[in-house]
Structure 1
Amino acid sequence: MRSSRSATAIVLASALVLAACGGAGETPTGSGGSQNGEPAPGVTDTEVVIGTHQPLTGPAAPGYSKISVGARAVFDYINDGGGINGRKITYKVEDDGYNPTKTVEVVKKLVLEEKVFALVGGLGTPTHSKVLDYLTSEGVPDLLVSSGALMWDAPDKHPNTFGYQVDYTREGKIQGQYIRDNLAGKKVGLLVQNDDIGTDTQKGLDQYIKDQIVDRKTYDPANTDVTPQVSALQAAGAEVVVCECIPAFTALTILTSLKIGYKPQLVVSSIGADPATLTGLVEQFAKQGGTQVSGGALLTGIIGTRYLPSVRGEDDPWTALFKEIHGKYIPQEAFTDTLVYGMVMAYTFGQALKAAGKDLTRQKIMDAMSSGELKGPGLTPFAFGKDSHAGYTGALVFRIEADGSVKTLQEAKVTDRETGEVKAYDEKRPTPQEVKLVG
């Protein structure tokens, strides 16, 4: 059993490491014209330029910095196969450090200097929200936002913005129903990020477990000390802690609980529940604190949610495809669910680009996104349509086992962002061959 002093050193070292990460073309006629006949930025007969803002440094970098690595591997795979409709994809990644002020700066650079055709997979609720109105005013397709905030699903106000991941309210409903049905009578505490991650999630959770919740705490991603929040949840008697946290803060919550001798059932949302990423972070933080730990042991029993194919899905054809791409283009990278997140995002954009046709315009890519025809690779369907710009519609529930495997506790269920029921979803997903992009 480690001493309290040793565990404290782990958490403090983790905080210091996170703080040190950074704190808080010309288009030929007929090939890329917009609807009014003007050239579409970033499009030529042979190329389409897209951009994104990602936390390559800063508090969200642990884990999330690999999303663009996975996405680029898929774009390389597409390009080596001849591109989409004869165009290769040029993918420009800007580091915003998970800092909203920096996000505004780099997004304006992408739009005004790099002349990107579209922004794809911009990451973060506190960050992307600061460029939402700007992208709308500039008419830039804002596709597959890497956040589950409800604000991306506002086709009347932001017609060019589309979500990607299951929104926080839907996910909260699925988590809440599971806790109500399987952890009935347990006192529940919430630890959520102090933005729309937290507020949107609670809208879902409260529909099922409001009476079980004994305390609610928020964390600021700029402050890596979560000891006050976790201690308060312990004092409130919370037997279950729902952690709607980015990966680094899930790891910090685990280590802080260890420090104070608190052993609640941890329920983690998809934004911070990648077992491989968490194992690496917990062990890395511990090592930097001068202690060797088994990340697998500390993660055993954690309950999580996900909506994408798992790297452990040996029989999943999508996992097989992504593993093949991984082995060819980025074999030096760990094959994690976070990496797959970026791969799915890139593949989905490829589908939309293909559907938009050779006479590519910004309006056509947005029409393709809202067509309702984008399928897979997720476990549930997208909500995309004329009246909805929400992403995936549900998730399954799993538990991390002692041997590092994951056990499905509840198969994928779907729901809406309002008060509709949570219901089973078992329709067959399309295979990669059915939505083939190259070859």
Structure 2
Amino acid sequence: MTSVTTSRRTFIGGMSAVALSGSAAFAQKKYDNGATDAEIKIGHAGPYSGPASAYGVIGKTIEAYWKSVNDAGGINGRKVNFITLDDGYNPAKTVEVVRQLVEQEKVLCLFNTLGTPSNTAIQKYMNQKKVPQLYVATGASKWGKPKEFPWTMGYQPDYHTEGAIYAKHMLANVKDAKVGILMQNDDFGKDYVEGFKDGLGKDNAKMIVKLATYEVTDPTVDSQVIQLKDSGANVFLNISTPKFAAQAIRKAADIGWKPAHYLTNVSASIAAVMKPAGYENSQGIITAYYLIDPLDKQFVDLPEVKTWTAWMDKYMAQANKGDANYVYGYTVSYLMHETLKKCGDTLTHENVMKQATNFQKFRVPMLLPGITVSTSPTDFYPIQSVQLATFKNEGWALFGNVMSAEGS
């Protein structure tokens, strides 16, 4: 196999002296590739470079999380060997590095690989290999299809449902709506648009007056935003990743366009999007939220927020706590940690998936109050609830109730 030039970070610890439980669940050890008495090997690919590099902090957060787990003795006496590779948000590169992780590194599972196009490129391969592709960092609805892809599972609320929620809110609150959509030209963008159209209903489909697409290789989306304004749209559905989301917010302000603005949750980071776009340009933007903002005064005194803040101070001291991606990386790692703990000494591909599909209203710290994780062998959508929020001053202000919807 050809060599792969990527960044690689790995944490490997020796065998822990912690005694294993003597219970029946731990009585007989069974391992697949990536697991031994000493370690659990987990693979990850993410965009440390390229057009979506703002998401690179997620991988760094996951690294720090597993380091903290290892510092505390590991999982059931085993240290976590986390191998993360840079795919540059390029699906062809994702295929290359994931083959390396599965065939050379022989990881037990792939965890939180980022991006809809990237995960799409490896989904069939992972399912053919029968290696878990768990808690992927994308909300595309295709990750919740256990009949077709029993080894792939999502994590966050799915884009289709989120798009439908924006449409319902718009119908109830915007008079004579004319919708302009900025869409990344791939499955990520298409999933949101389809959900938004479903939320509108056939009778209201004509409300969409302009659909402007962009490629991830484009330098800017300035021309697309100008086209949307010129269409007469008074609603802006901004389906973009952080770099382009910030550009679009700033450009809309520059040209004096002030529509009702809906921003996808994946670009709701204050540090990566709202601040670079300009707080003054971001006022009133609406998004769907499911993570706690640790800087929100209503949450700062919660024990889980204090725990997270102390963890950040110890393991990611230089990080900007206003970047929601750090919260995201922590929460998804917590769920993966719990999944592996439940496996006990049966660290096989099959048992990892069995445990991942067996959560009932499980509370993950730093999810919004009222939002929990539930899965089953027929339900691969761990988080199915969100709460709307509007950008006010320098942060997100939640409003309304927690809304739940089936991901399918």
The answer on 1:400 being equivalent to 2:387 is no
Secondary structure in structure 2 of the residue aligned to 1:328: helix
Select 1:223's aligned residue among 200, 218, 225. 218
Q: 1:276 to 1:411 in 2, by over 3 A?
A: farther
Moved more, 338-347 or 306-315: 306-315
Aligned to 1:269: 264
Letter in 2 for 1:206: K
Secondary structure in structure 2 of the residue aligned to 1:65: helix
The answer on 1:199 being equivalent to 2:190 is yes
Q: Aligned equivalents of 1:343 and 1:224: distance in 2?
A: 31
| TM-score after normalising by structure 1 | 0.80
Letter in 2 for 1:55: P
Select 1:368's aligned residue among 355, 377, 386. 355
Aligned to 1:5: none
Secondary structure in structure 1 of the residue aligned to 2:163: helix
Aligned to 1:17: none
Aligned to 2:338: 351
User: Contact 1:243 / 1:266 at 8 angstroms: preserved in 2?
Assistant: yes
The C-alpha deviation readout for 1:292-339, integer Å capped at 9, x for no partner, is xxx222222221211122222314443322212101111111112111
Question: Between the two proteins, what is the percent identity of the paired residues?
Answer: 32
Task: Give the total of aligned pairs.
Answer: 373
Secondary structure in structure 2 of the residue aligned to 1:250: helix
Aligned-residue offset at 1:32:
5.4
Select 2:314's aligned residue among 328, 338, 351. 328
Secondary structure in structure 1 of the residue aligned to 2:121: coil
Aligned to 1:49: 41
Aligned to 2:20: none
Q: 1:43 to 1:163 in 2, by over 3 A?
A: same
Select 1:302's aligned residue among 281, 285, 288. 285
Secondary structure in structure 2 of the residue aligned to 1:390: coil
Q: 1:317 to 1:296 in 2, by over 3 A?
A: same
Q: 1:32 to 1:152 in 2, by over 3 A?
A: farther
Secondary structure in structure 1 of the residue aligned to 2:397: strand
Which residues in structure 2 correspond to 1:13-32 (within 5 Å)? none
Q: 1:315 to 1:304 in 2, by over 3 A?
A: farther
Secondary structure in structure 2 of the residue aligned to 1:129: helix
Select 2:149's aligned residue among 149, 158, 170. 158
Secondary structure in structure 2 of the residue aligned to 1:162: coil
Aligned-residue offset at 1:213:
2.3
Q: Aligned equivalents of 1:412 and 1:320: distance in 2?
A: 23
Secondary structure in structure 2 of the residue aligned to 1:104: helix
Secondary structure in structure 2 of the residue aligned to 1:89: strand
Q: Aligned equivalents of 1:88 and 1:125: distance in 2?
A: 30
Aligned to 2:176: 185
Which residues in structure 2 correspond to 1:25-424 (within 5 Å)? 33=30, 39-62=31-54, 64-209=55-200, 211=204, 212-282=207-277, 295-312=278-295, 313-335=299-321, 336-373=323-360, 375-377=362-364, 378-379=367-368, 380-402=371-393, 404-418=394-408
Q: Which runs of 5+ in 2 are unaligned?
A: 1-11, 16-26
Q: Aligned equivalents of 1:235 and 1:344: distance in 2?
A: 41
The C-alpha deviation readout for 1:387-427, integer Å capped at 9, x for no partner, is 1212310211111112x132112232011135xxxxxxxxx
Aligned-residue offset at 1:167:
0.6
Moved more, 121-130 or 198-207: 198-207
Q: Aligned equivalents of 1:45 and 1:184: distance in 2?
A: 63
Q: 1:32 to 1:99 in 2, by over 3 A?
A: farther
Aligned-residue offset at 1:374:
6.5
Aligned to 1:292: none
The C-alpha deviation readout for 1:323-356, integer Å capped at 9, x for no partner, is 1210111111111211111111111100111111
Letter in 2 for 1:268: L
Q: Aligned equivalents of 2:129 and 2:199: distance in 1?
A: 40
Secondary structure in structure 2 of the residue aligned to 1:86: coil
User: Contact 1:79 / 1:88 at 8 angstroms: preserved in 2?
Assistant: yes
Letter in 2 for 1:415: A
Moved more, 341-350 or 321-330: 321-330
The C-alpha deviation readout for 1:74-109, integer Å capped at 9, x for no partner, is 222222222221112111110000011110111011
User: Contact 2:144 / 2:407 at 8 angstroms: preserved in 1?
Assistant: no
User: Contact 1:275 / 1:400 at 8 angstroms: preserved in 2?
Assistant: no
Q: Report 1 or 2 for greater relative contact order, CA contacts < 8 Å, sequence distance ≥ 6.
A: 1
User: Contact 2:360 / 2:373 at 8 angstroms: preserved in 1?
Assistant: no
Runs of 4+ in 1 over 4 A off after TM superposition: none
Letter in 2 for 1:128: N
Moved more, 194-203 or 87-96: 194-203
User: Contact 1:171 / 1:394 at 8 angstroms: preserved in 2?
Assistant: no
Letter in 2 for 1:57: S
Letter in 2 for 1:149: A
